[in-house]
Amino acid sequence: MRPSDEIITQYKKKICGVAKAFDAFCSNHSLRYFAIGGTAIGALRHKGIIPWDDDIDFVMPRPDYERFLQISNELQPEYDIFTYQNNPMYHSVITKMCDANTSLVIDPRVHTVVGAFIDIFPLDACLGETNEEREKFFYTTKAERLKAENLRMHYFFRDLLSSIKRRQFDEICDQMKSHCHHFLRNNVNEFERYENIVSQTSYENSEYITYFGTHYGAKNISLREWFDDYFYAPFEDFEIRLPKGIHEYLTKMFLDYMTPPPPEKRIALHSFYYLNLDKRVSWEEAREEMKKEGEYK
């Protein structure tokens, strides 16, 4: 169920607070980061969050990303970090920095309560001498990411029935592997293969870079030089950092990014199965509330 416009407005204020704290933390520790994707478009086109959007996305070069995770315990206590390394139930290679006094479930198949969040993607080297080789590397690596993430999902029986009905054999295989993984309480490091692939070449030594959490495929492969410097742009009631090559990047991704899409395509991507902007609750508490609302069945 989609929250009311008033609640979404309050939620956006929360994530802007997280973004401000992230910017201050990165600046204090000389960490490189950049707003990306829809967040960058929002800064340039709307001077804030795209009106029909509901998230904020950043990227960090891999060395800065790893350093951020190492020192994230120095964040103020009102913020917390979710990664697959620090939470065995969390299912993604994307790090979330959250307001620790809020609760959010964006997918009941992920048995984790996060908070109002910003997404932080690592920027990694993209290997290959030609466009075709780089695209092959991108999709091969993304496939490993999806395998690892799917293994941590807690699929419903209805998911399996739907996949069987649609004859989606890859989905059936992923779901069966996930059920076995949880039933056997397998402690295998399912992200190890993915990490080995992305660490083959250092960020600094690569001409092309990318992040593998994107929905936009190999269009997201970029020249590293576009991210060699930054500038600040107005964003809501503060300023946000954009890479110097943001125009080239967004043009490659979206062509005329300054023209809004038609009304029928102005749709938020995230779901809010459970949202509490006043406190952090446990997964068990959130699950019971979702059951009452018919969001978990």
Pairwise CA distance, residues 138 & 136, whole Å:
5
Tokens representing 255 are 């062509």
pLDDT digits (tens, 9 = 90+) for 242-271: 999 999 999 999 999 999 999 998 887 778
CB within 8 A of 100, min separation 6: which ones? 77, 78, 79, 80, 115, 280
pLDDT reading at 158 higher than 90: no
Q: What is the mean pLDDT of residues 178-205?
A: 79
DSSP string, the chain: -PPPHHHHHHHHHHHHHHHHHHHHHHHHTT---EE-HHHHHIIIIISSS-TT----EEEEEHHHHHHHHHHGGGS-TTEEEE-TTT-TT---SSEEEEETT-EEES-TTS---B-SEEEEEEEEE---SSHHHHHHHHHHHHHHHHHHHHHH----HHHHHHHHHTT-HHHHHHHHHHHHHHHTT----TTHHHHHHHTSS-GGG-SEEE-TT-SSGGGG-EEGGGGS-EEEEEETTEEEEEETTHHHHHHHHHSSTTSPPPGGG-------SEEESS----HHHHHHHHHHTT---
Q: What is the pTM of this model?
A: 0.91
Pairwise CA distance, residues 5 & 3, whole Å:
7
**Which among 156, 146, 147 is positioned nearest to 179, based on CA atoms?**
156
Q: What is the mean pLDDT of residues 168-178?
A: 79
pLDDT digits (tens, 9 = 90+) for 213-228: 777 888 999 999 999 9
Tokens representing 1 are 């169920």
Pairwise CA distance, residues 293 & 297, whole Å:
10
Pairwise CA distance, residues 296 & 290, whole Å:
5
175: amino acid identity, one letter: Q
Residue for token digits 């600094």? Answer: 204
How many CA within 13 A on the CB side of residue 202?
4
Average pLDDT over the chain reads 91
**Which among 29, 161, 113, 157 is positioned nearest to 285, based on CA atoms?**
113
Query: What's the pLDDT score for residue 183?
Result: 67
Q: What is the mean pLDDT of residues 236-243?
A: 96
Identify the sign of the CA torsion 23, 4, 114, 142: negative
263: amino acid identity, one letter: P
